[in-house]
Chains A and B, each alone.
Chain A
Amino acid sequence: MENTITDFDHKSEYTKLNLGPTHPATHGIFQNILTMDGEIIVDAEQTCGYIHRAFEKIAEHRPFYQITPLTDRLNYCSSPINNMGWHMTVEKLLGVQTPKRVDYMRVIIMELARISDHLICNSVIGVDVGALTGFTYVFQWREKIYDIFEEICGARLTTNIGRIGGLERDFSPACIQKIREFLKEFPAILREFTNLLERNRIFMDRTIGVGGISAERALNYGFTGPNLRATGVDYDVRAMNPYCSYNDFDFIIPVGINGDTYDRFMVRQQEMWESHKIITQALENLPEGKYFAEVPQFFLPPKEEVYNNMEALIWHFKIVMGEADVPVGEVYHSVEGGNGELGFYLVSDGGRAAYRLHFRRPSFIYYQAYTEMIKGSTLSDAIVTMSSMNVIAGELDA
């Protein structure tokens, strides 16, 4: 019998391609098993868990302060937001009211973290389409943000910043000085970066219409953050459920139209301007007052006091050993993280550690749409789609 084109099974000609787990273009440990028809992706399957560290299990065995370093390692590009989100969750459980100064200081730190997160993500989109220049320009500015963090808490990447009820210390004059310098010099750099990419013909051709998703599908997939806003849905936790006095500030929520890679890039660009605006307002109107709330049973006292003051020593011991009373209850609190709604579902049974702590990790939830977004596109488009989604391996695998 002669072979005709009709009884030829073209599926048998598909190629399986392993993209990752340690592919240089995926910026993290992600494995995608792609089914390719020539250059076109027919199907993809993601494998997760390469850096799974069982944070939720560990959290069930640790007092609240020891959970903060775990949250650092979720979205490590913006760890201060995770730290603050966790502290605010505990404060919500305990019913702690923080002073305005704490809120404003936190807002400054969180927005700086957002800028550093978006800087990495957007410059890496440039790298993945072959434009390395922007990346090298802005990385120095991420460095400057880390210098500010260092001035505030002593750490740079995994910051472990803040305390339940406030911050560990007030902003030093040097820190204020550094923030002011950053605010003054950053717009010129961001404008330069914008000029490099935003209207760059090659960049536009590589990103417009690539990896798009509709607003309906994005909502159904649980998208949040810049990825959702790029589709035109103006959901932002900072505006919808204002926490940390975000309703005091004047800022807009940029949205896109098509939900493609270019829109995601543009939304992040605009968000950096908005973050700059928020930090300026917060620093201008930084209220006087204490940098912590009056909750001695949870706020770790400063070291000098621990050494010289009996009461502080007792509190310090009790907090470190997890002796403070915690109410029984369950609470969900979410913050607008670098890449979406970062939620903490905390169930407390009154014990030292959380009975159950679940992290709502935005990139874990929206990364499952990746298959749908890259079907029918080429491999090179899949790479740039992935970097524009800002999937962070640490957060994906928890």
Chain B
Amino acid sequence: MSEVNNAFLLNELQDQFSANIFSVEEPYGMLTIEISKDINLALLTFLNKHPQIQMQFLTDVCGIHHPDLKGKELAVVYHLHSLVNNLRLRVKCHMSIDAPQINSITSIYSAANWQERETYDFFGIEFIGHPNLKRILNVDEMDYFPMRKEFPLEDPTRTDKNDNYFGR
């Protein structure tokens, strides 16, 4: 049995999903792949059920907003962990801000339930197939998604404080 490491993992994924893997990086030792948002459920199911890789632990789900990347402004980032092999993987799915829909992975990981709700709450990413997709930390009446970059932290009309000097 070959050792399960980043190279092996990438090889297995390329065999199955090569057409939908857009980029591969390895920042700080963690394999990071960018995939088509349509295959997120299929890819995570494959990793979960794979007899050697066994990525059965979902560490984290979060959203991220890149207003400058036209056509793929929003992203969902999954951090997965194979406890058996002690191997971590980061999976990113970019999508357009005009059609922020992605498959929910709650059918494989119960842990994704609240984390997807949180991502919806802050970024407005809709998870198709989520059992109870509603706001979780913000008030239900809120009609915007506050972690998107267009919402500044402070009053945007202020002129006495130059953002260049204070933080971003």
State the A residues within 8 Å of B (CB). 48-49, 52, 54, 56-58, 60-63, 92-93, 217, 219-222, 233, 235, 240-241, 321-322, 329-332, 334, 341, 343, 345, 347, 351-353, 356, 358, 360, 364-365, 367-369, 397-398
Contact = CB atoms under 8 A, between A and B. Distances in A.
B146 A57 contact: yes
A323 to B, nearest CB: 10
Given A56-B147, A353-B168, A358 B86 contact: no
A222 B109 contact: yes
B110 A368 contact: yes
B1 interface: no
A331 B154 CA distance: 27
B27 to A, nearest CB: 5
Given A332-B79, A341-B59, A358-B60, A364 B114 contact: yes
Given A49-B138, A60-B153, A220-B111, A322 B147 contact: no
B110 A221 contact: yes
A221 B111 contact: yes
A360 B167 contact: no
Contacts of B154: 61
A330 B110 contact: no
3 shortest A-B CB distances, which residue pairs?
A222-B111, A49-B137, A358-B62
Contacts of B167: 61-63, 322, 352-353
Contacts of A233: 83
Contacts of B114: 48, 364-365, 367-368
23 contacts: A48-B136, A52-B137, A52-B138, A58-B153, A219-B56, A220-B109, A221-B111, A240-B83, A241-B86, A329-B27, A329-B28, A331-B28, A345-B77, A352-B167, A352-B168, A353-B168, A358-B77, A360-B60, A360-B79, A364-B118, A367-B114, A368-B110, A368-B111
Contacts of A369: 110
A291 to B, nearest CB: 25
Interface residues of B, number: 38
A48 B121 CA distance: 12
Nearest to A62: B167
B28 A92 contact: yes
Contacts of A60: 153, 168
A368 B131 CA distance: 13
A142 B136 CA distance: 33
Contacts of B52: none
B110 A217 contact: yes
Contacts of A351: 168
Nearest to B136: A48
